[in-house]
Copies of this chain bind each other. A is one copy, B any other.
């Protein structure tokens, strides 16, 4: 069975295992203040255009989202997000468990617009009952989105401008940011995120690491006390260097981008083949997650050789399929899928 099911089915890039083995007997302080974490932070800062950002390493995505959002909001504030946003639908109410409401906006292609965000903020301020309504206190977007799509530089800039105009911090969930940055459709860089956002994270779990997400804090206010928040939410790894070592390896020799590029190219091969065959897509195919609409017979046939998910029914004979490529996907296996389409 060849896997196109998700981007977290395998382990990690081999360099990480080598580094963990090489450094195993080193003795370092715990909790993320060791030389590996410091060096990884330096490499990330460099990749972010050497801006004055704080870098923290956390273990997983849900943990990162809840820690960042709870650190930024006042008790009566919530986070504006796409209705399809991960925090709104697939984190078992983790944001609400910290006391805050997700404020979903209708999304198109998994995305929300600067205009929607501005309207939500302004409507709240103009509401005669505004003290009875949760205040938008943060904007959360995923890049790439849960639907595999990308906000363009223009879209990101507009959102960033609205956020800064109203002093509402912008948080980008970059669980798959590598796959976005290396996609053909991409017109931004990591350094742009360090300019346009107030805080974002660089996903490791889905992009080559065993686990781990690097939070990059741009905004001065959000930097304060973040390690307290991490500890309180159970997000400060005792042997913190395990995260530092992984991000060191990922950001050495541009590896993060090289492995992402591979996944992007495999996805593009599949997308091209699907388009050629006339398949429609539920969402614009732009990154390593593709959502073609296929007839159920074809799906059954493909399932004999390939592992992948179906996501809901379109009509009696058609369903939405998800093909995912990753840092581990080979061109060879991709070609097999292409040939089977």
Contacts of A94 in B (CB 8 A): 231-234
Q: Are B97 and A8 closer than 8 Å at their CB atoms? A: no
Q: Are A135 and B234 closer than 8 Å at their CB atoms? A: no
Partner of A25, one of B11, B28, B60: B11
The proximity string for A residues 110-152 relative to B, scoring 1 for CB distances below 8 Å and 0 otherwise, is 0000000000000000001101111100000000000000000
A287 at the interface (CB under 8 A from B): no
- Closest beta carbon of chain B to A37's beta carbon, Å: 14
Contacts of A236 in B (CB 8 A): 60, 62, 131
A24 at the interface (CB under 8 A from B): yes
Report the bound CA distance from A137 to B322 in whole Å: 30
A244 at the interface (CB under 8 A from B): no
Contacts of A76 in B (CB 8 A): 92-93, 97, 225, 228-229, 231-232
Q: Are A60 and B90 closer than 8 Å at their CB atoms? A: no
Partner of A102, one of B30, B101, B135, B233: B101
Contacts of A225 in B (CB 8 A): 74, 76, 135
Contacts of A12 in B (CB 8 A): 24
Partner of A231, one of B9, B91, B96: B91
A289 at the interface (CB under 8 A from B): no
Q: Are A27 and B8 closer than 8 Å at their CB atoms? A: no
Residues on A lying within 8 angstroms of B by beta carbon are 1, 3, 5-6, 8-12, 14, 17, 20-21, 23-31, 59-67, 70-71, 74-76, 78, 89-94, 96-102, 128-129, 131-135, 205-206, 210-211, 225, 227-229, 231-239, 242, 307, 309, 328
